Chain A
């Protein structure tokens, strides 16, 4: 019963976060001084096409309908939330008219998810493994070297690292492609290798930076847990180091790391923006960038809403996994 309450609580929070984010998303652009309809009309007029006032009015009306700007603010808000939640419809892209925004997003989403999920998980597993071992033997030379590397890596802003990697490995030494070009028929071996080849540098730029943070945090956990009374008791029971490490230290050290993972996935979504732009990677980040540059209002709304929903979902999934790992939450 407490478990059901925990799950229900998480689901309610999940819903509230999304509604809140959509509300902010709805109101913030409307606080700005620019009217997207007038901006659009000005753009059309500046291209030199002549329209008589009646035509301009028709165009204005149709733009207002397309943008969902008719009626009072509350009517607009209701229609906006309704459209997103019940039909997942963001209208057509303005810069790539008439392709629907959702289609562009669906094409970009697997790229971003694939890149972020794989690189975040690789960094998480590697970082926790190295950090656990170096926390277990903090005075060993290998531990000191690993910690030194981790401390040097983690303050580097990942876009600087991405830039350096790109210059070194695509420009100076032409090992990896400078921009992403995917080749190969669907589901062919060539396609798979092409994706891995093109994703390697962007993924590395994320893995390397995040790795350092995982090493440092899990190392601190391990060192503290080693001094816990249950570790001492396990040692006095005559248990082997391996067993103490895997059954006593590891499960306790990994729990907070799972919470951090959820937070990290949220942060990664921001990070992917610059990584994708730098490597010309066809994901959600690049799409957001294009939308901003082209003033594509619908596409911007769509990509940002989807990012919010994706991050909230990832966090919720991790929160729901948590009780499986921590009996103190499972049996409260």
Chain B
């Protein structure tokens, strides 16, 4: 699906600030890949580079990111570098942003925000049919039909985030990139939304890339996990293996820092620095 080959990504046109340093990674079909790391580790930059969002001075210095998509309808294979992914946005690739108050247009009804940007293949039929299909789709997220006629300010934070997940999934893409999709939510709502994302991925049999600093989130839903630190991938592998047997010190510390239900955090017992 996506092959990242020894890529260095960073910002700036005059001077160059490296954010992702010589990273190689392969993302396969039909899997959930998590990218974890602290603030400034380069995980969001890597995600933007995969999405092909080369604005605000973001650029690839060396290496390549290439994608290979098989269009479900025509069965044609499309191969492109990520710098040309723009044509595939909201067609083969969609994106779930971190749902803040201002990520949806405050003056547009939810229905229009779902429809805006939909590829032709998902638009078929009359406006009424489309509305009925969207309503049915939203029902799967526990959202009632009247949400379609609501404006963003009338929804709660959790509802808005579910709407964002639904918008990205309704496109029926081969690849969904999610940038901290549950960060601003309480754990109960977070859990619900994560389960929805897994459910969608299993149904569409596509690829989900999830960027989050929260290891708990990764533990719950990802198949494979990539740990980033200072722009480099320090560890990658099956999520269960990484949690059972972390190889790198940084990963070990990350896992040790998770709060535990019983007893002290591992980090307090180990007292490890760095």
Chain A residues packing against B (C-beta within 8 Å) = 228-230, 232-239, 243, 247-248, 251-252, 255, 325-328, 331
**Interface 0/1 of B93-109, CB less than 8 Å to A:** 01101001011111110
Residue among A235, A236, A325 facing the most chain B CB atoms (10 A cut-off): A236
Cα-based distance from A213 to B53 in the complex (angstroms):
35
Majority secondary structure, A binding face: helix
Query: Contact: B105 with A238, CB < 8 Å?
Result: no
Query: Contact: A238 with B89, CB < 8 Å?
Result: yes
Query: Contact: B102 with A331, CB < 8 Å?
Result: no
Cα-based distance from A248 to B107 in the complex (angstroms):
8
Question: 19 A-B residue contacts at CB 8 Å?
Answer: A229-B102, A230-B103, A233-B97, A233-B104, A234-B105, A234-B117, A236-B95, A236-B97, A237-B94, A239-B116, A243-B116, A248-B105, A252-B107, A255-B107, A325-B107, A327-B107, A327-B153, A331-B153, A331-B154
Cα-based distance from A326 to B153 in the complex (angstroms):
11
Contact of A229 among B89, B91, B103, B117 (CB under 8 A): B103
B86 part of interface (Cβ distance < 8 Å): yes
Query: Contact: B108 with A236, CB < 8 Å?
Result: no
Cα-based distance from A239 to B105 in the complex (angstroms):
13
What distance in Å separates the Cβ of A77 from its nearest Cβ neighbour in chain B? 46
Cα-based distance from A228 to B101 in the complex (angstroms):
11
Residues in B with CB closer than 8 Å to A237 are 89-90, 94-95, 116-117
Contact of B106 among A235, A236, A252 (CB under 8 A): A252
Cα-based distance from A247 to B90 in the complex (angstroms):
18
Residues in B with CB closer than 8 Å to A230 are 102-106
Interface residues of B in 59-109 (CB under 8 A from A): 86-87, 89-91, 94-95, 97, 100, 102-108
| B154 to A, closest residue via Cβ | A331
Residues in B with CB closer than 8 Å to A248 are 105, 108
Chain B residues packing against A (C-beta within 8 Å) = 51, 53, 55, 86-87, 89-91, 94-95, 97, 100, 102-108, 116-117, 151, 153-154
Cα-based distance from A235 to B52 in the complex (angstroms):
12
Residues in A with CB closer than 8 Å to B116 are 234, 237, 239, 243, 247
Cα-based distance from A229 to B97 in the complex (angstroms):
9
Tally of contacts, chain A with chain B, CB under 8 A: 63
Known pairs A251-B107, A327-B107, A327-B151; A239 contacts B102 (CB<8 A)? no
Residues in B with CB closer than 8 Å to A251 are 105, 107-108
What distance in Å separates the Cβ of A307 from its nearest Cβ neighbour in chain B? 34
Query: Contact: A233 with B103, CB < 8 Å?
Result: yes
Query: Contact: A236 with B105, CB < 8 Å?
Result: no
Cα-based distance from A229 to B94 in the complex (angstroms):
16
Query: Contact: B117 with A238, CB < 8 Å?
Result: yes
Cα-based distance from A327 to B155 in the complex (angstroms):
13
Residues in A with CB closer than 8 Å to B55 are 235
What distance in Å separates the Cβ of A251 from its nearest Cβ neighbour in chain B? 5
Known pairs A233-B97, A238-B89, A239-B116; A247 contacts B151 (CB<8 A)? no
Residues in B with CB closer than 8 Å to A232 are 97
Residue among A237, A239, A243, A252 facing the most chain B CB atoms (10 A cut-off): A237
What distance in Å separates the Cβ of B139 from its nearest Cβ neighbour in chain A? 22
Known pairs A238-B90, A252-B107; A328 contacts B153 (CB<8 A)? yes
| A326 to B, closest residue via Cβ | B107
What distance in Å separates the Cβ of B44 from its nearest Cβ neighbour in chain A? 13
Residues in A with CB closer than 8 Å to B100 are 229
Cα-based distance from A248 to B106 in the complex (angstroms):
9
Instruction: List 13 other contacts, CB 8 Å, given A230-B105, A236-B97, A327-B106.
Output: A233-B95, A234-B117, A236-B89, A236-B95, A237-B89, A237-B95, A238-B86, A238-B91, A238-B117, A251-B107, A251-B108, A255-B107, A327-B107
